[in-house]
Amino acid sequence: MTREPDRPEGYDCHRDGGPYAGIASFLARIAEERPRLAAHHRVELHAIAPWLDRTARPAAEEEPIRFHPARRTACLAYGAVEFVTAWADTLRRPVTVRLDHVGDADETTRELLDALARRKPSLLRLESRDGGAPRRAAAEPTRTALGESLARGFYHHAERIARRGRATVTPDGDLRLWWAFTTGLATALAALDRAAEALDLYHEARAATDDPKITMSAAYATAMLYARHLPASDQDPEQARRWLERAIDLAAGLDDPRRRTLSTVFYEQGLALLDARAGEHAYALRLVNDGLARLTAMLGSGERSQDVARLRHNRAQVYLAMGERDLALADLDTVIEHDPDNCEYYVDRAALYRAAGRAKAAIGDYGTAIRLGPHLPEAYYNRAVLQQERGRTARACEDLERALAVDPGHLDARITLVNLRVESGALDEAETEARAGLELAPRDPALLCTLGLVRSERGGLAEADELLTRALAGDPKLVEAWTNRAAVRFDRGEVAAAVADLDRAVALSEAPVPRYNRGKALVRLGRTEEAARDFAYALTQPGLDRALRRDLRAELARCRRP
């Protein structure tokens, strides 16, 4: 792998080679040379370069009942960059890697290379050559290649295959193949947040054929678009229910009793989803239980265990909505036993552990989800919150930094990290983080509030006031912004204005800090009786930390002195 700088090793990244073309071969070379390092990044390496996993079947053969979210490729890119960086840090001399046709690379390759460029590993030099000429004639689109891309979550590539495939067939010439490319294209578009285009494809399919199996599948897919994938303003539960009922009616006419049962059970899970969202939990639970009973009666031991796990997961969600945490946890334990490689289940169980106060178990499940996901930003964020609650600030900051490296737009992670920086006195880093977040979301009230807090801590009271005012314009119910602007105005000598802001904060929240602050401002105005009432009320609130309780008692005693 180590080459002389003037003899760079070349990799062809043209999109005709598929997702991660070129870069997958580069990663595979490192993995073969450093197997122990590769073992720590097994999930992302096997996803990017599947031939490294000699035990795996083609992803399309797994018959997935759910697809990876489109954002998974960002998680894969983060893990791959960590792998390359760790390798590059062990080099003794520079290594140059030539990447050809980068300008014509697949979206997955460009995403990974962008992440690598931001990291800039030591001693690794990337020499990109943008070429406009085709790498070679594109491979003939096939149904198998489409299924593989969809199953692996590479939706831009799947879209290209499906469009090329649809251009080669017609409903009259080869209805089954045309439908495979059409529904594959619709699936890719829905995953890429282009659900309206997917909806048009299903309308086209219904106009092209009345084949019962195709219209059944199209009906179910249309229902899921209305239930989940269309923008919130365009989602329509009643439309979704009508299409689901149509799919179930068509499933009842299937000749194969096994296929009839499987299709009916899974279409009814869509109805259970709608019932649960509508608060009809008893109906949802009955549908899930009935489906489980029918699957259990039909399937052999261990057969289609992932399908059974998915239904148990659905039931766990219903139990959770009903407040039955123990039943939900029992189902999730069984789900993980049947399908131990699904990161989603560990995230859900971690949330239950967290709610039950079992922080150590929750942290463990988030860690497993991060390994299997891999590198789920939400799991990093949730683990960081638990670490913060346990006083492990350094670990919390590390997880928050990882979450933002994968998803720079994760505002909750950004705000939490800024607040931790402020608490530790690292105001330069706090301000840098806050301004980076505002570059992505310039009107976000919470970020404006957080930067306002930073500026006030650094003595920029006028700018802090302006930032907090902008935050309140975006969210008049943001208690922290009213409280922080009051503190700024108090420090500027505008005590009456501070009291007015704290009146708004107190009206919105029972939290003790706004009452304490208003009491202090009222004392400054000589209104000690009102101040005493605020201090006394704040002392009745649960969860007071020791320092605040001490200060409240001291202020109340001063107010009551003759």
- For 182-233, write each residue's pLDDT tens digit: 999 999 999 999 999 999 999 999 999 999 999 999 999 999 999 999 999 9
Burial of 230 (0-12, 13-18, 19+ CB in 10 A): buried
Structural domain spans, the chain: 9-129, 139-238
DSSP 151: H
The rounded radius of gyration (Å) of the Cα atoms in the chain is 28
DSSP 62: G
Per-residue buried b or exposed e for 403-422, using 16+ beta carbons within 10 Å of the residue's own CB: bbbbbbebbbbbbbbbbbbb
What is the C-alpha to C-alpha distance for residues 318 and 534, in angstroms, rounded to an integer? 42
The pLDDT, as a whole number, for residue 64 is 55
The pLDDT, as a whole number, for residue 141 is 72
Residue 19, SS3?
coil
Residue closest to 452 by CA, chosen among 473, 476, 432, 471: 471
Amino acid sitting at position 171: P
The pLDDT, as a whole number, for residue 3 is 43
What is the C-alpha to C-alpha distance for residues 440 and 409, in angstroms, rounded to an integer? 7
One DSSP character per residue, 251-266 reads: HTT-S-HHHHHHHHHH
Q: Which CATH class is domain 139-238?
A: mainly alpha
- For 149-193, write each residue's pLDDT tens digit: 999 999 999 999 999 999 999 999 999 999 999 999 999 999 999
Residue closest to 224 by CA, chosen among 176, 266, 181, 258: 266
What is the C-alpha to C-alpha distance for residues 189 and 200, in angstroms, rounded to an integer? 11
* The pair of three-digit structure tokens given for residue 491, joined into one six-digit string: 């420090």
8 A C-beta contact, residue 157 and residue 129? no
Q: Average pLDDT by consecutive 10-residue portion of the chain (562 residues)?
A: 51 93 96 95 96 76 71 96 96 92 94 94 88 59 90 96 94 96 97 97 97 97 97 96 97 95 96 96 97 93 87 95 95 93 95 95 97 96 97 96 95 94 93 94 94 94 97 96 97 96 96 95 95 94 91 92 79
The pLDDT, as a whole number, for residue 293 is 96
* The pair of three-digit structure tokens given for residue 200, joined into one six-digit string: 């048009």
Residue closest to 144 by CA, chosen among 18, 260, 12: 18
Q: Are β-strands 9-12 and 95-100 bridged in parallel, bridged antiparallel, or unpaired?
A: parallel
The pLDDT, as a whole number, for residue 136 is 56
pTM, two decimal places = 0.89
* The pair of three-digit structure tokens given for residue 555, joined into one six-digit string: 């202020």
* The pair of three-digit structure tokens given for residue 32, joined into one six-digit string: 């073969």
User: What values do phi and psi take at 527, rounded to 5?
Assistant: -100, 65
The pLDDT, as a whole number, for residue 263 is 95
Residue 337, SS3?
helix
